Structure 1
Amino acid sequence: MSSRRVLHVITSLDRGGTEGFLAGLAPKLRARGVEQEIAVMVDGGDHATTLRDAGFVVHELGMSRGVPDPRGLLRLARCMKAFEPDVVQGWLYHANLVAALVKSVAAPSAKLIWNIRSVEMDPADYGWSLRLVVKLGAWLSRRPAAVVFNSDAGRQAHQNLGFAPDRLTVIQNGIDTQKFRPMPDARAAMRASLGLNDATVVAAVIARNDPAKDLPGTIAALDHAGGVTGVFVGTGTDTLDAGQHVTLGMRRDVPEILSACDMVVLGSKSEGFPNAVAEGMAAGLPAVATDVGDVPLIVGDCGRVVPAEDPMALSAAIAAIAQMSPGERAALGARARAHIEQSFSMDVCVDRFAALYEH
């Protein structure tokens, strides 16, 4: 049983994969005796509420995206001095740098751990400021005791960017299979609320509207597949030009939405460990996904994996699942859930983080 005190520093607590992962990880670590507080650079966010409701102290640093703010750094320094953490754990590029800078002054004896959840980025898709932050991260990557990735693809990509190889380690995401599970009793009501009849084949696309997710390519693939309706859930998806497909923006009832669907689809150009695919599979859905990050390990033989940035290949795979009988899809979905339960347990993930704090 650990008695470590960990201060998590994260860029925001809006709805997103990393933010949701931390919100799920923190209670599991607390059950192992790890005392934690969370400092968030940008105020607000649904997961800030979730964590507070679970009894965690969440410090809001009052910073703005893309705007350095010395007042936020001072607030973080005060948090560190008051909490006296054994470990300062940064989450995502900006928060990693902020955590390193402030820890060196306010908690010099604490262990520093960074978390990076992305793989490679296309420079054309992102601004110069983020590219600079990544370069600074590589330059300072010997400062942390460990830089944690959720996929081997992410580890390799960042080693190629100049991050110190001996600091890089992989802890794959754990999936909450109690939260994400088949909910057959919710299917009819959710379909009705989305304006979908029972005969429609529905594909869940759970992703924020970001260039790396290639949602326009996914829309094109769904259109070409014919007879399949996509349900897009995630920040900014309600602004998509998606034609006949359903665009919901950010929602809090993703497990229930998955119950109304027949497959989960990911059309990303790059990923590390895409939680959305694994969570959809845990909900009993076959997966169709592009060959990015650890997708082949996640999907296994429980769906289709196709090349990235190839809408026609993605479309053909979507059509292949759509043309199965409902019984065939259900059997493939049951196998998908069993695969996630066996291979991507949250308990193993929590064990590895707890061990990292100790050693």
Structure 2
Amino acid sequence: MKVLLVGHYYPPHVGGIENVVRMEAVHLAAQGFDVTVLTTGERGTTTRQDGVRVVRVAAWNGAERAGVPFPVPSPRLLSAALRWGRRADVIHVHDCLYPTSWAAGLAALLTRTPHLVTQHVALVQHPSALVRGVQRVVYAVAGRGLLRRARTVITLNASVADFVRRYGARADRARHLANGVDTGLFRPAVSGEERSLARKRLGLPRDRPLVLFAGRLVPKKGYDLLLSGYDPAAGYDLVFAGDGDAAALAGRPGVHHLGGLPPRELAEAYRACDVFALPSTAEGFPLTVQEAMASGLPVVTTDDPGYAPYRLDRSRVTLLERNAATIRTALSALAGDEPRRAAMGRYSRELAETAFSWEEHVNTLAQYYRDAAGPDAGV
């Protein structure tokens, strides 16, 4: 079966959606699917990576410097979408917000190729009223058409499931499917020595509990809540792995910025730290939380109703309101309670191993493709 996966970015660009698209593509190719990824890049190229054809359409990406990850592709995007969409048995679009998705949806309509949508997030509460307004318009127009015509709409949490239904997804075609996580790459440190060596390589202190934040340094991720009122006297240091507002971190005692990290270095950062914190908004269960769990870290994150389908043990995962003082108190308590951190870390790893399998994710996805494409599509 020929599958066209569509995402606005793809590695080596760092981010959650692009990592999901890559893992799906690689696992599908390993199962015998003929996989093409349509995405953007600095230049238009077509290459093969890990058995996957990657078609990059040249795009301007200046908006990302302002905290808006929104590439603007060249006009060649539509012809590329038509070419590869016509060849495909099924088109799988990741998120409705981006020009790559709109082009793929139009190509699906014109070539009569069935398409699926994975919607990762709902409306992002961006600080700019203009950005929030543009999101609403896009979802009401392009998003509604993509969702209504999709053979299957996949969501990762309850909040996004409600969102896609409001924007046109048919209830009988909506499915919950958790992302997978690479539990081989993202794993706990096997010893104190390994953790100490990881800290040395990353330039982190060896004698302090470390709280890791992984993600873009933008308000919706909550990095500012971790910084608000932070004092090293609380008993822990803050470690930030991600690009964005680096100036907010510079020169602050007890605050360490690693920048954006590729997956292998990010996995080492998880192993180097003691707690993972992500007070984000409107994300439900983001990939970084799954990676932190696979790495055996206790997790402190926002008490989002989107977590409901996962039935988390609230005594082993700290779910809080998005309040800086509440977060500081919880992190300080965890920093001083090693037995509790260990118990929460064991729960995290067990959950990752049992609930976040890429193999199960891709097996389910493959069945959705077969249902959409029909019995004559192969594999």
Give the TM-score band, short-chain normalised: 0.7 to 0.9
Tell me the TM-score normalised to structure 1 length: 0.88
Equivalent residue runs for 1:26-41 within 5 Å: 26-41=25-40
Q: 2:240 aligns with which of 215, 232, 238?
A: 232
Q: Provide the residue aligned with 2:333 in structure 1.
A: 320
Q: Provide the residue aligned with 1:145 in structure 2.
A: 151
Q: Which moved more, 1:291-300 or 1:253-262?
A: 291-300
Structure 2: which amino acid aligns with 1:111?
P
Q: Provide the residue aligned with 1:54 in structure 2.
A: 50
1:19 aligns with 2:21: no
| 2:34 and 2:52 in contact (8 A); partners too | no
CA distance in 1, matches of 2:126, 2:170: 21
The change in CA–CA distance for 1:225 and 1:89 in structure 2 (over 3 A counts) is: farther
SS in 1 for 2:14: coil
Equivalent residue runs for 1:303-342 within 5 Å: 303-307=317-321, 309-325=322-338, 327-342=339-354
Q: CA deviation at 1:131?
A: 2.9
Q: Provide the residue aligned with 1:206 in structure 2.
A: 214
Q: CA deviation at 1:338?
A: 1.0
1:215 aligns with 2:217: no
Q: 1:290 aligns with which of 282, 286, 302?
A: 302
The change in CA–CA distance for 1:101 and 1:225 in structure 2 (over 3 A counts) is: farther
The change in CA–CA distance for 1:294 and 1:282 in structure 2 (over 3 A counts) is: farther
SS in 2 for 1:72: helix
CA distance in 1, matches of 2:205, 2:182: 29
Q: Provide the residue aligned with 2:118 in structure 1.
A: 115
Q: Provide the residue aligned with 2:75 in structure 1.
A: 70
| 2:82 and 2:107 in contact (8 A); partners too | yes
CA distance in 1, matches of 2:103, 2:122: 21
SS in 2 for 1:61: strand
The change in CA–CA distance for 1:57 and 1:123 in structure 2 (over 3 A counts) is: same
SS in 2 for 1:20: helix
Structure 2: which 5+ runs fail to align? 61-69, 372-379
Q: 2:104 aligns with which of 99, 108, 122?
A: 99
CA distance in 1, matches of 2:367, 2:311: 24
SS in 2 for 1:249: coil
Equivalent residue runs for 1:153-192 within 5 Å: 153-183=159-189, 184=191, 185-192=193-200
The change in CA–CA distance for 1:299 and 1:282 in structure 2 (over 3 A counts) is: farther
Q: CA deviation at 1:269?
A: 1.9
Q: CA deviation at 1:32?
A: 2.3
| 1:11 and 1:42 in contact (8 A); partners too | no
CA distance in 2, matches of 1:101, 1:237: 36
Structure 2: which amino acid aligns with 1:314?
I
Q: CA deviation at 1:206?
A: 0.6
Q: CA deviation at 1:298?
A: 7.3
The change in CA–CA distance for 1:206 and 1:162 in structure 2 (over 3 A counts) is: same
| 2:276 and 2:297 in contact (8 A); partners too | yes
How well do the aligned residues superpose, as a CA RMSD in angstroms? 2.6
Equivalent residue runs for 1:125-140 within 5 Å: 125=128, 126-140=131-145
| 1:11 and 1:41 in contact (8 A); partners too | yes
The change in CA–CA distance for 1:42 and 1:196 in structure 2 (over 3 A counts) is: closer
Q: Provide the residue aligned with 2:2 in structure 1.
A: 5
1:264 aligns with 2:276: yes
Q: CA deviation at 1:218?
A: 1.9
CA distance in 1, matches of 2:312, 2:229: 19
Q: CA deviation at 1:127?
A: 4.8
1:275 aligns with 2:271: no
CA distance in 1, matches of 2:294, 2:311: 11
CA distance in 1, matches of 2:2, 2:360: 20
Q: CA deviation at 1:295?
A: 4.1
Q: Deviation per CA, 1:202-244: give whole Å up to 9, x if none.
A: 0110111233112111222654881211111123253433623
Tell me the TM-score normalised to structure 2 length: 0.83
Q: 1:247 aligns with which of 245, 254, 257?
A: 257
Structure 1: which 5+ runs fail to align? none
Structure 2: which amino acid aligns with 1:144?
A
